[in-house]
Amino acid sequence: MMYVVTGAAGFIGANLVKGLNAQGITDILAVDDLTQGDKFRNLVDCTIADYIDKDEFLTRVRAGDFRREFKAIFHQGACSDTTASDGRYVMDTNYAYSCALLDFCTADLIPLIYASSAATYGASDKFSEEPGCEGPLNVYGYSKLLFDQRVRRLPPGGSQVVGLRYFNVYGDREQHKGRMASVAYHFFNQYRADGHVRLFEGSGGYGNGEQRRDFVSVEDVVKVNLFFLQNPRKSGVFNCGTGAAQSFNDVAVATVNACRAAAGEPPLSLADMQQQRIVRYIPFPGDLKGKYQSYTQADLTALRATGYQDSFLTVEQGVAGYCKQLLAKTGD
């Protein structure tokens, strides 16, 4: 019997495959769409049993070809573009596909651990897994919320179903994501190429670069996923963040100082970076007005109640480690 990871060649999916490998698990069916062929690089150092295209996988699931073949499914595949405007495509990819897997898993009593999103909260200033806190600002967030709502309607006593509302994830294996990659990734490349980084000017009542998000390392995201795999009696929708909002300025400072440390240069404060124009601010994009979360911070009460007690990396810790990985890949 195999474990399934959808979106296996993507950012979180590939890190999850690597995390399973670290636990000695190699009987993995990787499911993805390799139309963007360079994503294969995310799996080169991973061990899997087989690969199948996401459309073929769904067809065979619906046809009943995989009865009693899987130990668990980690459903990470999705359209993750928060600015996507083709609602039909987003709903088909994120909602309808997920519903088909949910039906399959509940019928065969297969654990399903899937990727939800903090985008379900929209402009809320409270981030608890409660309907009163939810109000997505885009169709991506709505597609995730609608599936969470379906999961909430499941009768108790069935197979494990866990939704993880990822906050702002950063880390290794995200290079293929382009503009949807994390700000840490973009800041790293900006600083290496231009000697400075670019942040948005103030918005939503926050000063320049002071918009605050819950930035969570992909290493911690993998740990949370594997915790639920090891605790099959735990089900529900849970936040997956650090529980501590930090500013985009914090990410910029951590990124720049990690690069400076690698070059043997002393760290600088934010004020120093602003004065030397290492940190610069650009106008807030008009197309993001009304669609942008200026503040997020995961309420971890429900997650902690499951017994998950590991600490989370701060921006200073996680981004420094991530920059070391990026520098190693560039040979510097």
Provide the annotated active-site residues: 140, 177
Buried b (16+ CB within 10 A) or exposed e, 26-39: eebbbbbeeeeeeb
Asked whether the CA dihedral 147, 149, 155, 160 is positive or negative, the reply is positive
What are the b/e assignments for 54-65, b being 16+ CB within 10 Å? beebbeebeeee
Phi-psi category of residue 74: left, alpha or beta, with phi > 0 → left and psi -120 to 50 → alpha: beta
Return the structure tokens found at 78.
């999705």
Short-list 67, 98, 106, 219, CA closest to 163: 98
Contact 97, 58 (CB under 8 A): yes
Contact between residue 189 and residue 177 where contact means Cβ atoms under 8 Å apart: no
Q: Residue 299 — φ and ψ, nearest 5°?
A: -85, 115
The Cα-based distances of 32 to 25, 37, 79, 169 in angstroms read 19, 11, 12, 20
